[in-house]
Amino acid sequence: MGFFDSILRGISRLFKKRQASIGIYGPPNAGKTTLANRISRDWTGRSMGKTSEVPHETRKAKERKEVVIKAAGNKISFDIIDTPGIATKIDFHNFVEEFKMDEEKAKTRAKEATEGVIEAIKWLDKVDGVLLVMDSAEDPFNQVNVTLLGNLEARNLPTIIVANKMDIDDASPATIRDAFPQHPTIPISALAGYGMDNLYKAMMKYFR
């Protein structure tokens, strides 16, 4: 990936063979599906997936086609892909001990979660832009965030960092902005709807 991929991607966009696919990425429990639901509900009236406090609730990527977003005087149609959370480890015991899940269900969930991570990685080859969701109350320098950003940069994929969970007292979007100043960072609460107008404006600017 690099300079020539960037040119090819630009040519592809120029001819508009298909509309832009925007992947929602991030570690588990960053609020990816909550954000996908917020975007989808705002513009299509329908949700995309179930949310849960238990990590890895989304274990298969879900796509909502032709989500027409209007902001800043523009109107663009996107395909929105909600991807499973990317993790470096998955232990079914966490589901059993922390969330009192039945052991067989926990094992199944963990197995599906590993497949979900692989699927999310594969989707990186198909998307045209990425909303990278981070929990504003967590340390942004986790390996998943750093690895994802490095890959997005290497692929020249337009990326907006979504500093989610601004409704939490400990939220610190400035920490994220300071950690990754080379990318636009938009503070939002996908749960409460805070900051969504700014996010839509940013999508118009960076994903058009």
Partner 1 sequence: MKKRVLKNGSDRVGISIDLISTERLEELGSGKIRFIIDQVKDGKVLVLEKGLTSSEELELIRVTMTEIDHDSFIGVETPGFTGNISKRTFLQKLFGRTAPPRMMVVGPAHLLKTIKKDGRTIEAIILTRDSALEGDIREEDLTPPRDQEGEGFDGDERFDLDEEIDVVEEQDEE
Which range, of 52-60, 69-77, 148-156, 194-202, touches partner 1 by CB under 8 A? Answer: 148-156
Residues contacting residue 111 through CB under 8 Å, at least 6 positions apart: none
Question: Residue 134: which of 86, 94, 69, 78 has the closest Cα?
Answer: 86
Should residue 15 be labelled a site residue for partner 1 when binding is judged by CB under 8 A?
Answer: no
Among 44, 62, 63, 155, binds partner 1 (CB under 8 A): 155
Among 25, 78, 180, 207, binds partner 1 (CB under 8 A): 180
Should residue 17 be labelled a site residue for partner 1 when binding is judged by CB under 8 A?
Answer: no
Looking at residue 123, its amino acid is W
Gyration radius of the chain over CA positions: 17
Should residue 100 be labelled a site residue for partner 1 when binding is judged by CB under 8 A?
Answer: no
Q: SS in 3 state form for 141-173? A: CCHHHHHHHHHHHHCCCCEEEEEECCCCCCCCH
Site size toward partner 1, by CB under 8 A: 42
Interface with partner 1 (CB under 8 A): 1-3, 5-6, 86-93, 103, 107, 110-111, 114-115, 117-118, 121, 124, 139, 141-144, 146-151, 153-156, 179-182
